[in-house]
Structures are given as structure tokens and as C-alpha cells.
């Protein structure tokens, strides 16, 4: 894989880092090199937060996203930090309710319907992978299963799957 | 391909320490190094080690020195403000020839500064922070995997030279999560004997053995000036002179073998970027891009930050122009100016709490090439 | 192997110690050596840890493993030894300035944690080595190099301080009664957790001279001011205030209030 730079942006408490860790872990399982970074010091709810993932089949030189190939937007404050750092043809998947530019995904609603309201982040991640095909569905599921706490595992897997289907449907 | 894991820089330090035989950790909570302490708190009891949360950073390093004399390889981890508090004890570890590893995960200062933002502003403090004349060893890492490897090397050097070794990271490497191969590396064990009565330098055999407390040596370990038996000699100019020379020379005498570095495309370069830690990844990205565009730019990355080896620097860099890229106001540049002469040294320094970007490095490199033109 | 007599504990090649004539530290040093012998400890399994100050020199002349550390830092070094080596008996020796001023934070935390250490504080209520400056235990009104018009602050009651921080064994003795002191040290060494012994001792050079007291008078005054705890309890309250109770203050039979 060529270098892919992906940012998951939102506000503190939305699980941007968790989604990034899942993505990074999935990339590792798929045999890629990967670097995952995050904004620190913005853990409080409401403040902008982001996590970045750089994936490549070669060792990664600079480990931070610079020109994003994809941004997943869970909330506007985090997205604003990255909107002027998009690569040409970048994929922006945003929570539909935010009305941001890019492709709207009803992440919160889908997560809610699955009884996993905490997992809107994974719906968006699933949608990205379904839409782009950058990583296979089963490695993503493996990563979710490996990193989710027991009580959230089933809900998280369902959210990823729902997102993946949604992503496929709009691809 | 090796077994690769996804792991954070701070955790990789803890893994390296455990691999190197570290069995005592004392620390005090501080961002952005605390994950090292958390990891050691979890792991040490499982391997027969001891974890201690001290009342402050002074006590943390002091406890490590005590544990080291008790026969345990020891480590502490901190960040700038705590590292400042440790300077007293670093001098004591130097003077008593105590192996100990100190990890400083750099954050933006001075003072409390920006606790969650990276910086490389502790370089000169690592090198010069305690009082008196001394030398110690300072290592760095630009990746998670290297953080693991250099932690192991820090322990090995500490044992070989019986001195404190500082591993200088920064928030960026400490918190970065990357794929890394944590492969087994050679480990230097403590030389605990023979019990010959001479446990401190200078001795004709070089670094003296270090029997642990309780082994019958009836050691006398003091931060006062002492002879090789440990006897306080606070009035004797000869003993003071020889001891101070020994403490420095045992480090400087090994500078060439201690000096680890990487270099790319230097031979035909007209400008060489010199950078370390996370900054060097921006410099490497910029250097690759500039080369692709046909610019004669190379990169030299010291991994050992102290002692530097002037002979190696001169050999590798020749008389090329140098652009030092670092997240401070020019601290490594200060040392390089002293060694290579200030005329050929330019700097790109960033102190805004952000990781320097490849774009800024490329810009500065182009400006330097033009300015030279 | 246990020592047969205290002379075995002299670190001969470093001898003699540098204390001023009439200083109490020599007596304390002897009491420590005897207590180690009497409790049957193997001297090569005893770790002595000191900071900086005249009292910090005491372990230098005792033939055990000795760590002579920076000013104030004996206790955290000792913690590193005690936590990793339960087979060693770790004894900290220091003065009032060393242990309760610059090292005060370490002292209360060691007591709180109940670290397996015996801490001996040679309290002469002055900085001796550096020239007679006020220490945290200098009584109010005393004139010192840094309080030429008299000390205006309250002193620490070191025993109350460490007891308040949770020390399981607290005792106070004086070098005026060396045998009683030896007994206290022996009991402290037998205590499994944190034990603390405050040792009242004269500094003829920095206190005695300033007050015009001869070394002998200095010792005599100290002797007169101190009273065994049991008797102190029977004194009328005005008299109590003028006297200092000695003995085991916590962790013994007579445990109870002494302040
Ligand atoms: S200055 Fe005081 S405490 Fe120090 S050795 Fe002399 S008499 Fe003893």
C-alpha cells in the first residue's frame, strides 16, 4: 500500500484515539507498517481532539498525517483543525448530523439503533473501510475484537459491520 | 519479517528496561512520561522486581541509586521539571560510579510550560545539569523501536562504565504508537567481583567491580572525594584531581565506540541536515523529498547525543555546510559549533510545542543551499 | 556472622573520626556499634546510610556497607536498599538539619509508608558543620549564626512529627545516658517496620561555645533537662514543660501521650 494518512477528528470523549488504535492494529494485522498519534491534553469533553494513523507497506518516515487521505469527522471542532490539510481527492466521512462538507454518514443513529451509542466512531471507521477497501473487513473485525473491553465487544463489532455495509452501499 | 507489535514509545522503554534486567523502578507522576511508570508498576512484580512511587523526583532517583548498590539494575523516568530536580542525584551517581538509567521524556518548557507538548529543550541540561566537572552518556531515539533498543543499550553502557545514562525522548516519541520488533538484544550483567578492596576508579584495570551491599565487601560509598577504596579524601588535591579526571575520561575515552549514528546521502551532499529524535524524522522526510527533486542534501542523525565523537563528525561531515534541525533554540547546534566551528553551522529551531514539519525543514534547507550559492 | 565485640565494627583504615572534643557523636557511634553487636546482627548484613552533616560521618567509621549520600537524601537511598533487600537491616543516621529540614519530606513519607528502616536522628538543635545556623529544632530565643537576635520560630518535636506520620516505633534518648541509649537502639533494630530514635546530643563547638558552656556542663544540662517518660508523666504540668521525656514513646509498654 502507498502511504495513507487518516485522521479521526472530534471532541474529547468521542473515542477518536480508540478508533485510531483499532485502525492501526488492523493495519498491523494486514502486514503494514503503521504509526498512530493523537492530540494529548484535550481529553476533556468538548475540546477538539484528534488521532492520526499513517499506514504504509514501507517503514514510515514521518509518523504524522500532513496531507490527509481521509478524515473521519465525529464533531466539528476536531474537523476544523484538519480541513485545510486534505490531500487532493481526500475522503471525508462526517457524522451526517453535523452538516459538514464531505460524505454524510448517519453514524450516531446507526450506533444508537444497534444499542451501542458509544460506537459511532467505529461506524465511521467501518464506513471508511467499506467505502475505500483500504483494509479487509475481517482484519478490522479482528482488531476490534482484540482491543474492545469484553462488555463492549459485541456492540463494537456490530457497529463496525454496520458502518462497513453503509460504506459499501455508497461506494 | 520479525514479529512486530503495535506499541507506544513509553511502553517500549519499559519493555526494553525489563529485557535489560531492570528490576527496580522508582518514579513520580509527570506528563508525558507516566506511562513508563504505569508499565513498570504492572510488570516488575511479575518478574521479581520492585516498584516504588516516590514522594518526589529527588527521592525517585535516590531510591534507584540505593537499589543499584543493593544489586538491582534500576531506572527512573520523568520529564523536564522532574529532570531538573534529579540533577543533584545525577551528580551523586556520577561521583559514586553508580549504574542507573534516567529517561527524560521532553516536554515544552521552561518551567511547567506545555506539559503535553513535545520539545527537545533538555539536551544541554542532560549534558551539564549537575554541578562540578563530569561526563555522562546521553542517548536518544527517533522511533518506538529505537526507544526499546536504546533503553537496552542505556542499561548496558551504565553497567560497563558504571555511570548514569540518560535516555532523552520527547512527548512525540513517548506517546507515538508504532509497529516495532522488540527483538532480544545482548545484555551486560553487573560485574560484582572480585572483592579486592578497590571499588572505585581510577584503578589500573579501568572500571572497578561493584559488589552489592550485603556481599561482605563492607563498602564505603560516598559522594565526597574518595580514593579507590572509598575512603573520604577531602583535603588531598591529588586525589581530587585524579578522581575528576577519571570520572570524565572513562566516558570520553570511549566516545568513539559509544557514538552511534546514522547517515544518508552525505558523500555527495553540499548541505547536510543534522537532527535527532523526532525532529530527525521530519528532516529525513524533507531530505528524501529534496533528493528526489535533485538537491544535494544529506542527513546525519546522532543517536548518541553525548559524548559526541569529533573525529567521526569530521570524517562524516567533512567540510560540508550543516543545517541543525531541532526543537529547541539550538542546543545540539551549540555543541557542534564548538566542535566544527560556527561558520558552517546554520540552524532551524522550533520551540512552539509542535513537532517540526518536513515542509519547514525543506524550506530551510533550500534557503541554506541558496544562501550558500 | 555476628560480631563478638564492638571493636570488630571499627573501620580501622579510616579511623579516627573527626568529631570535635566533647561532641556527642562519638558516644552515639559507640552505642550504634554495641547495639548491632547486642542484637546479634551480622555486620555485613547491615547497611548504614547517611546524608551530609557531622552526624552523617558516623557510619563512615563503622565497618558495615555504608552509603554516604547528598545532604537530606539518606532516607530515599535507604528506601531503595530496604525495598529490594529485605535480608539487610538498613539504618539511617543523620542530624536534625539533614533529616528534618532538607530531608523532612522524605522523613515523614518513610514513616507513613512504614518502610523497614531504623532512622537515628542525632539532634543537637544546630547546624554544626556549616557554622552554627538555626535548625528546625533550635529552641526559640537561642542565638545562632543566622538568628543573632534569637530564634523566633517554633521548633519541631521530631518524635511527635514522625509519630503523627505513622511511625510504629518512636523513642528518644540522649548521649548522656549511653547504656539506656543502646537499649533503645537495640529495640528499634528489633522493630520490623519503620523505627525512629531521636538522640539528644550536644554540639560544644557551635552551641556550647556560644553559650559559654564547657563540654561537661553542656552534657550535665542536657542530662538535667531529660526525664524518663514514666517519671515525666508524674510531674506537675509547669515542670513537664521545662523537661524532655525520654524512653520509648511509641511501640513500647509505656506508650501514650508525651506532648
Ligand atoms: S561541630 Fe558540633 S556536631 Fe559537629 S563535630 Fe563539632 S561538636 Fe560535633
In a domain, C1, yes or no: no
B227 Cα–ligand 1 center, Å: 25
Q: What is the pLDDT of residue A46?
A: 76
Distance to chain B for C73, nearest Cα, Å: 7
For residue B95, the SS3 value is helix
pLDDT average, residue stretch A120-130: 98
> Which of A31, A41, A63 is closest, CB to CB, to B178?
A63
Chain A neighbors of B281, CB-CB under 8 A:
61-63
CA distance C140 to B201: 47
- Is the C-alpha dihedral spanning A21, A23, A28, A29 positive or negative? positive
Is B4's Cβ below 8 Å from some Cβ in A?
yes
The residue whose CA has the least distance to atom 5 of ligand 1 is C19
- Per-residue DSSP letter, B212: P
Q: Which atom of ligand 1 is nearest to the CA of C20?
A: 6
Residue B345: its H or E element: strand B345-349
In a domain, C63, yes or no: yes
How many C-beta atoms surround the C-beta of residue B131 within 10 A? Answer: 10
Residues 47-76 of A with CB under 8 A from B: 60-64, 66
In a domain, C214, yes or no: yes
Per-residue pLDDT reduced to its tens digit, B173-197? 999 999 999 999 999 999 999 999 9
- Enumerate residue ranges in chain C where pLDDT < 70: 253-256
pLDDT average, residue stretch A122-143: 98
In a domain, C257, yes or no: no
Q: What is the mean pLDDT of chain B?
A: 97
CA distance C125 to C123: 5
Instruction: Judge if the upstream peptide bond of residue B194 is cis by omega within 30 degrees of 0.
Output: yes
| Region class of B39: left (phi > 0), else alpha (psi between -120 and 50), else beta | alpha
Residues 260-289 of B with CB under 8 A from A: 281-282, 284-285, 288
Q: What percent of chain B has pLDDT over 70?
A: 99
Chain B neighbors of C87, CB-CB under 8 A:
214
Model confidence at B2, pLDDT cuts 50, 70, 90, reads: low
> Which of A21, A25, A61 is closest, CB to CB, to B281?
A61
Distance to chain B for C17, nearest Cα, Å: 11
Find which of B1, B108, B173, B178 to mutate to test the A interface (most A CBs within 10 Å of its CB).
B178
CA distance B52 to C21: 42
The three three-digit cell numbers of residue C116, written as one number: 523497614
CA B60, distance to chain mean position in Å, is: 18
Q: Are A94 and A14 in contact (CB under 8 A)?
A: no
Is C86's Cβ below 8 Å from some Cβ in B?
no
Q: Calculate the alpha carbon distances from C100 to B58, B182, C104, C120, C164 in Å.
A: 16, 46, 4, 11, 14
Here the CATH number for the domain that contains residue C36 is 3.40.50.970
The three three-digit cell numbers of residue C217, written as one number: 556542663
> Which of A28, A31, A35 is closest, CB to CB, to B176?
A35
In a domain, C239, yes or no: yes
Using alpha carbons, select from A38, A46, A53, A52 the residue that is nearest to residue A13: A46
Q: Are C222 and C48 in contact (CB under 8 A)?
A: no
Is A85's Cβ below 8 Å from some Cβ in B?
no
The residues spanned by each domain of chain A are: 3-170
Ligand 1 binding pocket (C-beta < 6 A) is C 19-20, 23, 25, 54, 124, 128-129, 203-206
In a domain, C179, yes or no: yes
Between vectors from CA A33 to CA B106 and to CA B103, what angle results, nearest 5°? 20
Chain C neighbors of B213, CB-CB under 8 A:
47, 65, 67, 81, 85, 88
Beta bridge partners of C169: C195
Residue B61: its H or E element: helix B57-69
Chain C neighbors of B223, CB-CB under 8 A:
68-70
Statement: residue A41 has pLDDT above 80 = no
Is C211's Cβ below 8 Å from some Cβ in B?
no
Is A36's Cβ below 8 Å from some Cβ in B?
yes
CA distance C173 to C227: 10
The residue whose CA has the least distance to atom 1 of ligand 1 is C128
CA distance A45 to A49: 9
Per-residue pLDDT reduced to its tens digit, B25-60? 999 999 999 999 999 999 999 999 999 999 999 999
The dihedral formed by the CA atoms of C22, C24, C25 and C28, expressed in degrees to the nearest 10:
140
- Closest residue in chain A to residue B355, using alpha carbons only: A64
- Quote the strand ranges of A76-159, DSSP E: 86-95, 103-105
CA distance C169 to C114: 10
The three three-digit cell numbers of residue A151, written as one number: 462488555
Model confidence at B1, pLDDT cuts 50, 70, 90, reads: very low
Q: Which atom of ligand 1 is nearest to the CA of C55?
A: 3
Per-residue pLDDT reduced to its tens digit, B273-292? 999 999 999 999 999 999 99
- Closest residue in chain C to residue B73, using alpha carbons only: C84
CA distance B309 to B307: 6
**Alpha helix segments (H runs only) across B162-197:** 171-175
Domains of chain B with CATH codes: 3-182 (3.40.50.970), 202-253 (no CATH), 262-372 (3.40.50.920)
For residue B53, the SS3 value is strand
Chain B neighbors of C47, CB-CB under 8 A:
70, 213-214
Verify whether the Cβ–Cβ distance A28 to B179 is below 8 Å: yes
The three three-digit cell numbers of residue C12, written as one number: 580501622
The dihedral formed by the CA atoms of A124, A126, A131 and A135, expressed in degrees to the nearest 10:
130
- Closest residue in chain C to residue B219, using alpha carbons only: C65
Q: Are B125 and B161 in contact (CB under 8 A)?
A: no
Q: Are B54 and C78 in contact (CB under 8 A)?
A: no
Interface C:B, ≥3 CB–CB pairs < 8 Å: yes
C250 Cα–ligand 1 center, Å: 29
Is B358's Cβ below 8 Å from some Cβ in A?
yes
Per-residue pLDDT reduced to its tens digit, A112-121? 999 999 999 9
- Residue carrying C-alpha cell 519503620: C194
- Residue carrying C-alpha cell 530527525: B280
Q: Which atom of ligand 1 is nearest to the CA of C124?
A: 3
Verify whether the Cβ–Cβ distance B63 to C77 is below 8 Å: yes
Per-residue pLDDT reduced to its tens digit, A47-67? 899 999 999 999 999 999 999
Verify whether the Cβ–Cβ distance B70 to C44 is below 8 Å: no
Q: What is the pLDDT of residue A42?
A: 58
CA distance C55 to B30: 34
The residue count of chain B comes to: 373
How many C-beta atoms surround the C-beta of residue C14 within 10 A? Answer: 18
- Residue carrying C-alpha cell 572505585: B200
Verify whether the Cβ–Cβ distance A36 to B117 is below 8 Å: no
Q: What percent of chain B has pLDDT over 90?
A: 97
Instruction: Judge if the upstream peptide bond of residue B319 is cis by omega within 30 degrees of 0.
Output: no
B193 Cα–ligand 1 center, Å: 37
Chain C neighbors of B75, CB-CB under 8 A:
none
Model confidence at A45, pLDDT cuts 50, 70, 90, reads: low
In a domain, C258, yes or no: no
In the complex, which subunits touch C with 3 or more CB pairs below 8 angstroms? B
- Closest residue in chain C to residue B211, using alpha carbons only: C65
Statement: residue B373 has pLDDT above 70 = no
Is C12's Cβ below 8 Å from some Cβ in B?
no
- Closest residue in chain C to residue B26, using alpha carbons only: C80
Residues 108-137 of C with CB under 8 A from B: 109
Between vectors from CA C151 to CA C146 and to CA C155, what angle results, nearest 5°? 115
Residue B8 phi, psi (nearest 5): -80, 150
For residue B216, the SS3 value is coil
End-to-end CA, chain C: 41
Verify whether the Cβ–Cβ distance B179 to A31 is below 8 Å: no
Residue B277 phi, psi (nearest 5): 60, -150
Using alpha carbons, select from A32, A122, A134 the residue that is nearest to residue A72: A122
Whether CATH 3.40.630.70 fits A3-170: no
The three three-digit cell numbers of residue B310, written as one number: 569529533
Chain A neighbors of B288, CB-CB under 8 A:
61
Is A31's Cβ below 8 Å from some Cβ in B?
yes
Statement: residue B237 has pLDDT above 90 = yes
Chain C neighbors of B44, CB-CB under 8 A:
none
Q: With a threshold of 0.90, does the pTM exceed it?
A: yes
In a domain, C256, yes or no: no
CA A144, distance to chain mean position in Å, is: 12
Query: For chain C, what is the domain count?
Result: 1
Per-residue pLDDT reduced to its tens digit, B143-166? 999 999 999 999 999 999 999 999
Using alpha carbons, select from B67, B101, B222, B191 the residue that is nearest to residue C88: B67
CA distance B330 to C181: 59
- Closest residue in chain B to residue C63, using alpha carbons only: B218
Q: Are B271 and B297 in contact (CB under 8 A)?
A: yes
> Which of A28, A36, A41 is closest, CB to CB, to B116?
A41
Residue C115 phi, psi (nearest 5): -65, 145
How many C-beta atoms surround the C-beta of residue B184 within 10 A? Answer: 7
Domain range for C118: 6-250
Amino acid at each position: 500500500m502507498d502511504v495513507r494518512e487518516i485522521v479521526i477528528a472530534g471532541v474529547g470523549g468521542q473515542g477518536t484515539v480508540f478508533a485510531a488504535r483499532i485502525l492501526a492494529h488492523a493495519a498491523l494485522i494486514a502486514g503494514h507498517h503503521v504509526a498512530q498519534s493523537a492530540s494529548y491534553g484535550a481529553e476533556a469533553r468538548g475540546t477538539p481532539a484528534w488521532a492520526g494513523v499513517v499506514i504504509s507497506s514501507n517503514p514510515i518516515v514521518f509518523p504524522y498525517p500532513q496531507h490527509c487521505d481521509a478524515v473521519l469527522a465525529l464533531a466539528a471542532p476536531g474537523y476544523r483543525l484538519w480541513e485545510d490539510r486534505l490531500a487532493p481527492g481526500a475522503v471525508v466521512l462526517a457524522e451526517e448530523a453535523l452538516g459538514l462538507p464531505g460524505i454524510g454518514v448517519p453514524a450516531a443513529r446507526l450506533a444508537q439503533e444497534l444499542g451501542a451509542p458509544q460506537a459511532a466512531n467505529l461506524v465511521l471507521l467501518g464506513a471508511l473501510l467499506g467505502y475505500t477497501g483500504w483494509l479487509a473487513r475481517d482484519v478490522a473485525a479482528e482488531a476490534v475484537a482484540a482491543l474492545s473491553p469484553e462488555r463492549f465487544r459485541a456492540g463494537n463489532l456490530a457497529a463496525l459491520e454496520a458502518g462497513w455495509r453503509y460504506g459499501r452501499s455508497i461506494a | 519479517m520479525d514479529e512486530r507489535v503495535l506499541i507506544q514509545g513509553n511502553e517500549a522503554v519499559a519493555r526494553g528496561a525489563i529485557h535489560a534486567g531492570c528490576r527496580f523502578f522508582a518514579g513520580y507522576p509527570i506528563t508525558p512520561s507516566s506511562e513508563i511508570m504505569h508499565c513498570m508498576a504492572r510488570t516488575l512484580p511479575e518478574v521479581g522486581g520492585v516498584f516504588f512511587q516516590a514522594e518526589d523526583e529527588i527521592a525517585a532517583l535516590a531510591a534507584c541509586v540505593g537499589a543499584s548498590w543493593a544489586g538491582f539494575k534500576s531506572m527512573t523516568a520523568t520529564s523536564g521539571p522532574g529532570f531538573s530536580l534529579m540533577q543533584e542525584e545525577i551528580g551523586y551517581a556520577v561521583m559514586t560510579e553508580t549504574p542507573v538509567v534516567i529517561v527524560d521524556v521532553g516536554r515544552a518548557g521552561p518551567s511547567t510550560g506545555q506539559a503535553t507538548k513535545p520539545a527537545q529543550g533538555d539536551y544541554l541540561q542532560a549534558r551539564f545539569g549537575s554541578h562540578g566537572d563530569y561526563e555522562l552518556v546521553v542517548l536518544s531515539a527517533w522511533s518506538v523501536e529505537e526507544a526499546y533498543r536504546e533503553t537496552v543499550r542505556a542499561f548496558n553502557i551504565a553497567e560497563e562504565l558504571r555511570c548514569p545514562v540518560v535516555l532523552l525522548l520527547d512527548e512525540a516519541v513517548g506517546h507515538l504508537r508504532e509497529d516495532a520488533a522488540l527483538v532480544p538484544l545482548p545484555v551486560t550483567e553487573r560485574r560484582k567481583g572480585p572483592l579486592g578492596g578497590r571499588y572505585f576508579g581510577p584503578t589500573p584495570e579501568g572500571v572497578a567491580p561493584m559488589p552489592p551491599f550485603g556481599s561482605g565487601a563492607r563498602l564505603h560509598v560516598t559522594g565526597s572525594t574518595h580514593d579507590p577504596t572509598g575512603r573520604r579524601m577531602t583535603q588531598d588535591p591529588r586525589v581530587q584531581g585524579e578522581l575528576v579526571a577519571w570520572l570524565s575520561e572513562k566516558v570520553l575515552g570511549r566516545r568513539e565506540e559509544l557514538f552511534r549514528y546514522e547517515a544518508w546521502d552525505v558523500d555527495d551532499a553540499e548541505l547536510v541536515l543534522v537532527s535527532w529524535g523526532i525532529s530527525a524524522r521530519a528532516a529525513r522526510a524533507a531530505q528524501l523529498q529534496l533528493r528526489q527533486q535533485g538537491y544535494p542534501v544529506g542527513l546525519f542523525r546522532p543517536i548518541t547525543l553525548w559524548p559526541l565523537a569529533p573525529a567521526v563528525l569530521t570524517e562524516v561531515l567533512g567540510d560540508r555546510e550543516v543545517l541543525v534541525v531541532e526543537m529547541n533554540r539550538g542546543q545540539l547546534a551549540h555543541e557542534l559549533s564548538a566542535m566544527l566551528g560556527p561558520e558552517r553551522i546554520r540552524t532551524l529551531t522550533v520551540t512552539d510545542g509542535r513537532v517540526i514539519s518536513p515542509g519547514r525543514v525543506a524550506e530551510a534547507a533550500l534557503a541554506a543551499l541558496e544562501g550558500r550559492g | 556472622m555476628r560480631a563478638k565485640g564492638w571493636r570488630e565494627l571499627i573501620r580501622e583504615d579510616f579511623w579516627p573520626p573527626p568529631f570535635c572534643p566533647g561532641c556527642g557523636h562519638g558516644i552515639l557511634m559507640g552505642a550504634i556499634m554495641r547495639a548491632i553487636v547486642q542484637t546479634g546482627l551480622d555486620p555485613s548484613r547491615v547497611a548504614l546510610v547517611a546524608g551530609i552533616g557531622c552526624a552523617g560521618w558516623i557510619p563512615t567509621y563503622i565497618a558495615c556497607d555504608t552509603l554516604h549520600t547528598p545532604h537530606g537524601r539518606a532516607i530515599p537511598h535507604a528506601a531503595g536498599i530496604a525495598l529490594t533487600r529485605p535480608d539487610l537491616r538498613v539504618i539511617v543516621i543523620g542530624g536534625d538539619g539533614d533529616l528534618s529540614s532538607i530531608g523532612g519530606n522524605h522523613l515523614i513519607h518513610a514513616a507513613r509508608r512504614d518502610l523497614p528502616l531504623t532512622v537515628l536522628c542525632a539532634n543537637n538543635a544546630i547546624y554544626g558543620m556549616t557554622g552554627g545556623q538555626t535548625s528546625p529544632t533550635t529552641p526559640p530565643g537561642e542565638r545562632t549564626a543566622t538568628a543573632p537576635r534569637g530564634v523566633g520560630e517554633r521548633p519541631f518535636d521530631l518524635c511527635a512529627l514522625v509519630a503523627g506520620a505513622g511511625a510504629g516505633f518512636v523513642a528518644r534518648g540522649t548521649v548522656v545516658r549511653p547504656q539506656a541509649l543502646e537499649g533503645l537502639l537495640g529495640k528499634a533494630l528489633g522493630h520490623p517496620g519503620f523505627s525512629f530514635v531521636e538522640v539528644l546530643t550536644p554540639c560544644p563547638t557551635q552551641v556550647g561555645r556560644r553559650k559559654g558552656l564547657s563540654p561537661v556542663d553542656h552534657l550535665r544540662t542536657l542530662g538535667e533537662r531529660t526525664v524518663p517518660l514514666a517519671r515525666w508523666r508524674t510531674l506537675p504540668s509547669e515542670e513537664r514543660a521545662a523537661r524532655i521525656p525520654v524512653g520509648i514513646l511509641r511501640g513500647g509498654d509505656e506508650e501514650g501521650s508525651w506532648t
